[in-house]
């Protein structure tokens, strides 16, 4: 265990405490503890089947763990449903893009604004005064903050299903951001992208994390070591349900067990370089 700094209570946005998760007799997570600090990019790495996505699903509420607690802003959220967690400000993207293929880019992103909509079905069907103004406000937010940030002006009105994979990933990120999250879970955002798209996506993640406007805390699940080590403030290494180490990128790269279990003896930066 190498936690270099004492963690201040209020600095911690999300905490997993001794979480266990079983599927039948298969143990996906065996007592995992994670502390994500506000404003950081905290990466989770590990070989395939290590339980990374299961961990994300637990945070987001798709799975509920058999044992252990999840705290968000010091509040226990074990019992909350995914949509309730979304209202708290937890947003995510998926390993395989989960967008609405038949809908346009704009509609997909609009969907992410749903929890911020105040008007209901009745006022929506009349669509006058307050509702119309609200709609314009949301559209302004989407245009100025998201479409501009992600550089997707040219595909605004195109159905997502027709777009190349790299752009679909971007749209999914856009939808996650439309929620105006405080915690953003990125499940392999770079998988299947070409070099140029990887660079773009990495830039967007950094923008979202560092920009005064956003300051979103990110949990990044990723296999691309070059990107992980460059972007992350902390890296959490998972191996078959067990944590190996949770530390700074430097600590992780030099940890003998990590090298043995996951990274191999090769140069860490060999990937994509």
Residue 154 C-beta: closest distance to another protein, Å:
4
Report how far residue 257's alpha carbon sits from residue 263's, in angstroms, rounded to the nearest whole number: 9
Q: Which of 18, 98, 137, 151 binds another protein (CB under 8 A)?
A: 151
12 vs 206 by CB, closer to another protein: 206
Judge contact between 60 and 185, C-beta under 8 A.
Answer: yes
CB closer to another protein out of 11 and 143? 143
Q: Which stretch binds another protein (CB under 8 A): 73-81, 139-147, 162-170, 253-261?
A: 139-147
Both tokens assigned to 245: 């180490």
**Contact between 40 and another protein (CB under 8 A)?**
no
| Tokens linked to 4 | 């270099």
β-strand 41-45 against 217-221: which pairing, if any? parallel
Under the binding rule (CB under 8 A), the answer on residue 230 touching another protein is no
Could you say whether residue 137 binds another protein (CB under 8 A)?
no
CA distance 58 to 78: 9
Q: Which stretch binds another protein (CB under 8 A): 53-61, 123-131, 141-149, 227-235?
A: 141-149
Instruction: Check residue 273 for interaction with another protein (CB under 8 A).
Output: no
The one segment of 52-60, 136-144, 159-167, 247-255 that binds another protein by CB under 8 A: 136-144
Residue of 203, 215, 260, 272 that binds another protein (CB under 8 A)? 203
Query: Per CB under 8 A, does 212 bind another protein?
Result: yes
- The answer to whether 218 and 25 have CB atoms below 8 angstroms apart is no
Q: Is 133 in the site for another protein (CB under 8 A)?
A: no
Stretch that binds another protein, among 56-64, 170-178, 208-216, 240-248 (CB under 8 A): 208-216
Q: In what order do the strands lie in the sheet with 12-23?
A: 26-37, 12-23, 67-72, 75-76
- Can you read off the two tokens belonging to residue 237? 């290494």
CB of 153 to another protein, least distance (A): 5
From the list 18, 137, 144, 230, which residue makes contact with another protein (rule: CB under 8 A)? 144
148 touches another protein (CB under 8 A): yes
- Residue 76's DSSP bridge partners are 71
140 is an interface residue for another protein by CB under 8 A: yes
Rounded to the nearest 5 degrees, what angle is found at the Cα of 273, between the Cα atoms of 94 and 233? 55
State yes or no: residue 207 binds another protein (CB under 8 A). yes
Round to whole Å and give the CA distance between 260 and 97.
Answer: 31
Q: Which is nearer to another protein, 130 or 140 (CB)?
A: 140
Interface residues with another protein (CB under 8 A) are 139-140, 143-144, 147-149, 151, 153-154, 156, 203, 207, 210-212
């Amino acid at each position: 265990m190498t936690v270099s700094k004492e963690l201040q209570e209020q600095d911690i946005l999300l905490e997993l405490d001794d979480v266990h998760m079983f599927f039948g007799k298969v143990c996906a997570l065996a007592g995992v503890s994670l502390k994500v600090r506000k404003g950081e990019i905290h990466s989770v790495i590990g070989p395939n089947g290590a339980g990374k996505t299961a961990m994300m699903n637990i945070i987001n509420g798709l799975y509920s763990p058999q044992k252990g607690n999840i705290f968000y802003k010091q509040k226990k959220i074990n019992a909350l449903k995914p949509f309730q967690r979304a209202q708290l400000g937890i947003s995510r993207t998926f390993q395989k893009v989960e967008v609405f293929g038949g809908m346009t880019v704009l509609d997909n992103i609009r969907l992410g604004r749903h929890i911020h909509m105040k008007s209901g079905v009745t006022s929506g069907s009349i669509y006058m005064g307050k509702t119309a103004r609200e709609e314009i406000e949301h559209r302004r937010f989407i245009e100025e903050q998201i479409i501009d940030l992600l550089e997707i002006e040219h595909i605004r009105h195109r159905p997502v299903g027709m777009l190349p994979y790299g752009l679909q990933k971007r749209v999914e990120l856009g939808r996650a951001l439309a929620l105006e999250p405080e915690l953003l879970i990125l499940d392999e955002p770079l998988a299947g992208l070409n070099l140029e798209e990887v660079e773009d996506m990495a830039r967007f993640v950094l923008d979202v994390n560092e920009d005064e406007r956003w300051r979103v805390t990110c949990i990044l699940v990723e296999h691309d070591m070059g990107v992980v080590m460059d972007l992350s403030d902390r890296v959490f290494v998972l191996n078959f349900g067990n944590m190996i180490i949770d530390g700074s990128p430097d600590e992780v790269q030099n940890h003998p067990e990590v090298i043995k279990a996951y990274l191999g003896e090769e140069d860490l930066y060999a990937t994509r370089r």
